[in-house]
């Protein structure tokens, strides 16, 4: 049995499923950031120093400073995410550092959370639950339109991003007998869109026509701040916005104004800026805004599958084999 100092060091940015950690420890000297809170930047830099592999998640920004601090022995980074906006991919490629990520295994769970947010915002679940807890129910149920919601059936769905997750969401919504599915993006994707009858439109057309606008794109320079004041003005006043992508796609101040003034109907967000969203955020005081804490992929099955994949990718990278799910 090798002593820890002979094994490659893997720095692990937070606690992940124990089975995966045990597997990692069979071949590596595992150093886990323990603690109730996400690691601070300084803790991250201290942790990565001298590591041969990193097991990270989107909170850990991989940039020049981090790579320089880690050192030249760093061979592979496994991120517990399909999103890659936290990693300077060009720089990693330039330095020959392999990157593994977790596509596909989280598509179903993330799509299911998007559907949860669509249904919960459409049927005003936040308000329903608090009205019962606060004892408002008895006094207002005599009004037939009290807490009246929106129907998914017959509605126009607008998908911003028809990638793996966007397509999985659209397929599930099709089963609700929606009237139309629109999608927008940098390129039309007829091979994905045609089987579900989705129609490629411009961003503006999508905003103008959709009852539910669902953001499922990856983040890049084309879509940071995409949902700004002008975008909200183009949406229907009854429109519901759901975001499972990343918080930066939405200008949150503009969203607050749009929700408060009735420019749009409601929003369901699994991702925000910053994360965690502080309890003092004005968004949380709005009855027509539901926020979940970036847990779209968080089912037991998916989280274990993600962990297994990251471990596999790290082993492959350390042993000089092709990664199972490489980014490049």
- 82 binds ligand NDP, rule: CB under 6 A: yes
Residues of the shown chain interacting with ligand DGY in the complex, contacts defined by CB under 6 A: 58, 81-83, 106, 297
Which among 11-19, 206-214, 230-238, 290-298 is the span making contact with ligand NDP, rule CB under 6 A? 290-298
φ and ψ at 194, to 5 degrees?
-60, -45
Contact string (CB under 6 A) for ligand NDP, positions 100-119, x = contact: ---x--x---x---------
> Which of ligand NDP, ligand DGY, none is residue 158 near (CB under 5 to 8 Å by kind)?
none
Is the CB of 245 or the CB of 325 nearer to ligand NDP? 245
Q: Closest Cα partner for 180 from 156, 162, 203?
A: 156
- 300 binds ligand NDP, rule: CB under 6 A: no
To ligand NDP, the closest distance from the beta carbon of 98 in angstroms equals: 19
Contact string (CB under 6 A) for ligand NDP, positions 199-238, x = contact: -----------------xxxxx-xx---------------
To ligand DGY, the closest distance from the beta carbon of 181 in angstroms equals: 23
φ and ψ at 302, to 5 degrees?
-65, -45
CA distance 82 to 296: 12
Output the residue with the shortest Cβ distance to ligand DGY: 83
> Which of ligand DGY, ligand NDP, none is residue 156 near (CB under 5 to 8 Å by kind)?
none
Residue with tokens 């769970």: 109
103: left (phi over 0), alpha (psi -120 to 50) or beta: beta
Query: In this chain, which of 79, 131, 245, 313 binds ligand NDP, going by CB under 6 A?
Result: 245
Is 52 noted as a catalytic residue in this protein?
A: no
| DSSP string covering 147-183 | T----STTPEEEEE--SHHHHHHHHHHHTTT-SEEEE
Which residues are CB-contacts of 201 (< 8 A; sequence separation ≥ 6)?
A: 182, 183, 184, 209
Per annotation, catalytic residue among 29, 33, 52, 294: 294
Which among 127-135, 171-179, 182-190, 278-286 is the span making contact with ligand NDP, rule CB under 6 A? 182-190
Is the CB of 81 or the CB of 209 nearer to ligand DGY? 81
What is the end-to-end Cα distance of the chain in Å, rounded? 34
- Letter string b/e over residues 80-119, b meaning 16 or more CB atoms within 10 A of that residue's CB: bbbbbebbbeeebeeeebbbbbbeebbbbbbbbbbbbbbe
φ and ψ at 116, to 5 degrees?
-60, -45
Give the C-alpha distances (Å, rounded to integers) separating 306 from 98, 103, 138, 187, 313: 17, 9, 46, 28, 11
To ligand NDP, the closest distance from the beta carbon of 31 in angstroms equals: 26
Which among 139-147, 159-167, 234-242, 317-325 is the span making contact with ligand NDP, rule CB under 6 A? 159-167
Q: Which residues bind ligand NDP (CB under 6 A)?
A: 82-83, 103, 106, 110, 160-166, 184-187, 216-220, 222-223, 244-246, 270-271, 294, 296-297
Catalytic residues, by residue number, are: 294
């Amino acid at each position: 049995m090798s002593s820890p100092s002979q094994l490659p060091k893997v720095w692990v940015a937070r606690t992940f499923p124990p089975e995966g950690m045990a597997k990692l420890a069979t071949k590596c000297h595992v150093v886990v950031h323990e603690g109730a809170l996400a690691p601070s930047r300084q803790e991250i830099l201290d942790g990565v120093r001298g590591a041969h592999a990193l097991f990270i998640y989107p909170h850990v920004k991989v940039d020049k400073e981090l790579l320089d601090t880690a050192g030249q022995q760093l061979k592979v980074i496994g991120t517990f995410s399909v999103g890659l906006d936290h990693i300077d991919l060009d720089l990693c490629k330039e330095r020959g550092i392999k990157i593994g990520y977790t596509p596909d295994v989280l598509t179903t769970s993330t799509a299911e959370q998007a559907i949860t947010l669509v249904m919960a915002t459409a049927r005003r679940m936040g308000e329903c639950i608090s009205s019962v807890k606060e004892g408002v129910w008895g006094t207002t149920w005599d009004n037939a339109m009290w807490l009246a919601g929106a129907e998914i059936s017959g509605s126009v769905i607008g998908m911003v991003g028809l990638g793996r997750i966007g397509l999985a969401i659209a397929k599930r919504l099709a089963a609700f007998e929606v009237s139309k599915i629109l999608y927008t993006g940098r390129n039309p994707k007829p091979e994905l869109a045609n089987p579900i009858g989705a129609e490629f439109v411009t961003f503006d057309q999508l905003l103008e026509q959709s009852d539910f606008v669902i953001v499922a794109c990856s983040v890049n320079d084309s879509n940071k701040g995409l949902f700004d004041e002008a975008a909200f003005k183009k949406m229907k006043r009854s429109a519901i916005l759901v975001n499972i992508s990343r918080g930066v796609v939405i200008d949150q101040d503009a969203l607050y104004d749009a929700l408060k003034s009735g420019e749009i109907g409601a929003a369901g967000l699994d991702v925000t800026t910053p994360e965690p969203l502080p309890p003092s955020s004005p968004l949380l005081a709005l009855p027509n805004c539901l926020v979940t804490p970036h847990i779209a992929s968080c089912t037991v099955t998916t989280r274990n599958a993600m962990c297994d994949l990251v471990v596999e990718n790290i082993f492959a990278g350390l042993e000089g084999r092709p990664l199972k799910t490489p980014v490049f």
